[in-house]
Structure 1
Amino acid sequence: MNKLKVVARGSKLSQLQVKEIFNRFPEIDYDLILTKSYGDHNMQISLLNGAAPDDMFTRGLDQLILTGEADIAIHSAKDLPVNLNPELEIIALYEAFDKTDSLVSRNHLKLNELPAGSSIGTSSPLRKAGLTSLRPDLEIVGIRGCIEERVQQVRDGKIDAVIVATCALKRLGMENEIAEILPFDTHPMQGRLAITARKGRDDLKELFSKGSILDQIND
């Protein structure tokens, strides 16, 4: 096979996820294409009010596969749309090493230590529901941006805390930011990594089959 053309988003986390995949397959030679998703281009869109399109974080990457500029895209599995483009398919899915959510807060306060009215940033309706069930007295605010930018908003005092996937903090080497692991349910695809390609690329599905749990999920 010729050198594989791989597309991913440009964040540090996304690039680390690409390396994580190819650490499994050191024999595969590839070129990495970094691009922005629809969501990256439209930071004003809130994910909390239902205004975000289904393919918010995949559209730009999907397009490069559809035009033949890329062979595969590597995603955080929870970013995949419910309705994947009909010309594409998930060819591999890898299990998460951590599925929990973490609280990052000023002064490392735990959730039950935050004063009433404290502001907590999240872009997830599921996380919002979990927080509301535990601390209905807190102010939940929509937040966008890469993990580092979200954590920086806490450091700068713009918000009091933020909810972040624990695996993301670990991938970025930011475990020291964790005030506590939160006890509520997370997205079912949290922490998993997925590869998408054009439908019918059985050669690529076979290439990335080692360690993939896709067949287990489909069953």
Structure 2
Amino acid sequence: MKKLIIATRGSKLALWQSEFVKAELEKAHPGLEVELSVMMTKGDKILDTPLAKIGGKGLFTKELEEAMLRGEAHIAVHSLKDVPMEFPKGLKLGVITKREDVRDAMLSEKYGCLEELPQGAVVGTTSLRRRMQLLSLRPDLVIKNLRGNVNTRIRKLKEGEFDAIILATAGINRLGLASEVRYFSPISKEHIIPASGQAALGIEIVDDAEVEDLVSVLNDADAIVETMVERDFVTLLEGGCQVPIGVNAQVFGDFLHVKAIIGLPDGSEMISEAMSGTRADFVTLGKALAQKVIDKGAKELLERAEKIALSEIF
């Protein structure tokens, strides 16, 4: 193969991710031409409605997948946390890249950390996972929905619509936007557990041996172990973006630790659990942790969470 085409969204973060993969592939395979095919997805067009109400994060991948199935592109680069657990026939998850900083971060023009936010401060996020954990820490906060790309969200913060907003640290680091606001403060995983797959890139590919061989150089062994545990956990819980789920696995040499939290969007009821094992346990650890929270009533709690989210929040 002499030419590889990447289907990508047109947002600054999506383009950064695709350009990064393009450069890495061209470096690994001298003589290979990599081209970007930029397209608009439904998730990019509908900016006034929360994702959970219009179909979830798959809205950012559907058009890219259709282009690949039509033979117009070979791969698509996504933030792994946005990648659905199942793929259309003919496509597969070919690569999981090395992770950036997995933590969420608070951005503010006035306050340096969550503890400094005054009573009743307005915080922007559309993530039910973040909402749940923020309100469990600070029930007094007013959480308001925040859509748009990273730059749009920062603009809304600077225009005074919010006292603070919560974004993924990885996206801010990749775009070099930390200096755009007065305070950029990553939040400890002890306070807010990240989303499944956060800070890794997932490269979706056509189910073709040559394409898979070309892109496999970008796989990261630790990231594969960690994110497979996280994705297994979410899959067994049957949890999409309409429910609040935080799960994070981390490799420490041959040791593997995973912790998770699920609950209601207002943080009033939550189930949190953790498990440890060896690196070799990654094929079972996520499922085992999911079963542990299911035995505590997790599925029933998530059903209530989804109803609350769709009827009261969105």
**TM-score, normalising length from structure 2?**
0.65
**Which digits, 9 at most, give the CA deviation of each residue in 1:178-199, with x for residues without a partner?**
4321121101211111111222
1:194 aligns with 2:196: no
3-state SS of the aligned residue for 1:115? coil
- Rg comparison, structure with higher value: 2
Correspondence for 2:17: 17
Task: Give the 5 Å matches for 1:1-219.
Answer: 1-25=1-25, 26=27, 27=30, 28-47=32-51, 50-54=52-56, 55-176=58-179, 177=181, 178-183=183-188, 184-199=192-207, 201-213=208-220, 216=225, 217=228, 219=283
Q: CA RMSD in A?
A: 1.8
In 1: Cα distance, 2:206 partner to 2:135 partner: 40
Return the offset for 1:125. 1.2
Deviations 1:86-119 (A, max 9, x none): 3311111112121011100122432111112211
Structure with more relative contact order (C-alpha pairs < 8 Å, separation 6 or more): 1
Distance 2:59 2:66 in 1: 13
Mapped partners of 2:5, 2:22: distance in 1: 13
Aligned counterparts of 1:211 and 1:8: Cα–Cα separation in 2: 17
Q: Retained in 2: the 8 A contact 1:8–1:74?
A: yes
- The runs of at least 4 consecutive aligned structure 1 residues that moved more than 4 Å come to none
Partner AA of 1:18 in structure 2:
S
CA distance in 2, matches of 1:4, 1:179: 37
Alpha-carbon distance in 2 for matches of 1:7, 1:100: 27
For residues 124-144 of structure 1, the C-alpha deviation after alignment (integer angstroms, 9 at most, x for no partner) is: 111111211111111111111
Name structure 2 gaps, 5 residues minimum.
229-281, 284-314
Counterpart contact for 1:39–1:45, Cα < 8 Å:
no
1:103 and 1:181 in contact (8 A); partners too: yes
Shift of 1:34: 0.9
Number of corresponding residues: 216
Q: Deviations over 1:116-171 (max 9, x none)?
A: 22111112111111211111111111111110110111100011111111111111
Distance 1:22 1:31 in 2: 8
Gaps spanning 5+ residues in structure 1: where?
A: none
Contact preservation (8 Å) 1:6, 1:73:
yes
Distance 1:64 1:155 in 2: 37
CA contact (8 A) 2:110 2:163 kept: no
Aligned partners of 1:104 and 1:162 also within 8 Å: yes
Pairwise CA distance, 1:56: 1.6
Tell me, in whole angstroms, the C-alpha distance in 2 between the residues paired with 1:52 and 1:18. 26
Name the CA distance, whole Å, in 2 between partners of 1:45 and 1:88: 28
Q: CA deviation at 1:207?
A: 0.7
SS at match of 2:59: coil
More helix by share: 2
Measure the CA separation in 2 of the matches of 1:95 and 1:192.
6
Distance 1:52 1:132 in 2: 24
User: How far, CA to CA, are the matches of 1:89 and 1:141 in structure 2?
Assistant: 35
